[in-house]
Amino acid sequence: MLKEGKTPLLSVRNLCVDFSSRGHVSPVVRDISFDLNAGEILAIVGESGSGKSVTSQALTGLLPEAPACTVRGSVKLAGKEILGLRERDLRKIRGKEIAYIFQDPLSSLNPTYSVGWQIEEMLKIHAPTMNGRERRARIGEVLEAVGIRAELANAFPHEFSGGMQQRVMIAMALAASPKILIADEPTTALDVTIQKQIMNLLLELREHFGMSVLLITHNFGIVSQIADRVCVFYHGEKVEEGPTRTVIDSPQNAYTRTLLACVPRLRN
């Protein structure tokens, strides 16, 4: 929990996102507010179309520009307003302060370059004072941190399994030591054993690097394993928020109860 009087690492207030097409305006996210505290794992949970990914992408200007998309409200990083910053300034935040892991690692990785080359590109942008030897050492460090041998930096994405590709994406996100890691459905299309490994890895990295994690998911089973707090989204609105254990044990909203009912349980 956040200590009284301390500023949240990320503070989102009254966030609204509208998409426009042929003169028709569709509200996708409506008046969303939440805080992410230092060292915390906050899960945003909801079905497809509930506004989870749109919310996470709105934080650092990854959505289409106006008039196709309009974003209103406030997003403060360590007390500084970042919503509405120029693209040049947002590029300094993406990857360096806030890093993303997207749903499909294979489509996010360039198949024509080695994974080490792609991690190095991140470092060239966000750690320009590093020399070549320092960058290579950092690449090895982040790969080892996610359970990949440093010598595999020369391998190409297609040489890795789906779970290992996701680990590469996490290593790339860690390269510039971000304060916040946004993991958008990081276990999509992975079998349950690999899902568990990825969740354990995020917990270990949170402890090792002290970063905060914003986890986007539809799966309350995953949330119960990893999240400190949870926000439940439905049709672009936040319908419930609280400590994970409290929400799971005593859900106040009917939609939350429906999501929890979808979690498989073993019975004697």
Mean pLDDT for 243-261 is 95
Domain membership of residue 120 (yes or no) is yes
Give the Cα separation of 114 and 157 in Å (integer): 7
Say if residues 96 and 126 touch (Cβ distance below 8 Å).
yes
Residue type, 1: M
pLDDT tens by residue, 149-196: 999 999 999 999 988 998 999 999 999 999 999 999 888 767 788 888
How many angstroms separate the Cα of 140 from the Cα of each of 81, 133, 164, 172? 34, 11, 15, 11
Q: Where in the sequence is the domain holding 154, given as residue range(s)?
A: 107-177
The tally of CA atoms less than 13 A away on the side-chain side of residue 9 is 20
Domain tally for the chain? 1
* Sheet of 229-234, strand order: 98-101, 180-184, 212-217, 41-45, 229-234, 237-243
Domain membership of residue 73 (yes or no) is no
How many angstroms separate the Cα of 72 from the Cα of each of 15, 18, 57, 184? 6, 9, 13, 22
pLDDT tens by residue, 130-141: 999 999 999 999
Give the Cα separation of 168 and 96 in Å (integer): 17
Hey, how many other C-beta atoms are within 10 angstroms of the C-beta on 64?
11
Q: Quick one: which H or E segment has residue 80? A: strand 80-81
Q: Radius of gyration (Cα) for the chain, nearest Å?
A: 19
Domain membership of residue 216 (yes or no) is no
Beta bridge partners of 4: none
Domain membership of residue 230 (yes or no) is no
Say if residues 15 and 33 touch (Cβ distance below 8 Å).
yes
What single-letter DSSP state applies at residue 78? T
Give the angle subtended at the CA of 150 by the CAs of 144 and 156, to the nearest 5°.
Answer: 115
Domain membership of residue 154 (yes or no) is yes
Confidence grade of residue 242 (pLDDT, cut at 50, 70, 90): very high
Task: Tell me what percent of the residues of the chain surpass a pLDDT of 90.
Answer: 72
Confidence grade of residue 246 (pLDDT, cut at 50, 70, 90): very high
Domain membership of residue 237 (yes or no) is no
Domain membership of residue 87 (yes or no) is no
Number of residues written out for the chain: 268
- pLDDT in the model for residue 266: 53
pLDDT tens by residue, 58-87: 999 999 988 899 999 999 999 999 999 999
pLDDT tens by residue, 76-118: 999 999 999 999 999 999 999 999 998 878 788 999 999 999 9
Beta bridge partners of 27: 18
Could you tell me the two tokens for 236?
């672009």
- pLDDT in the model for residue 208: 85
- pLDDT in the model for residue 35: 98
Domain membership of residue 4 (yes or no) is no
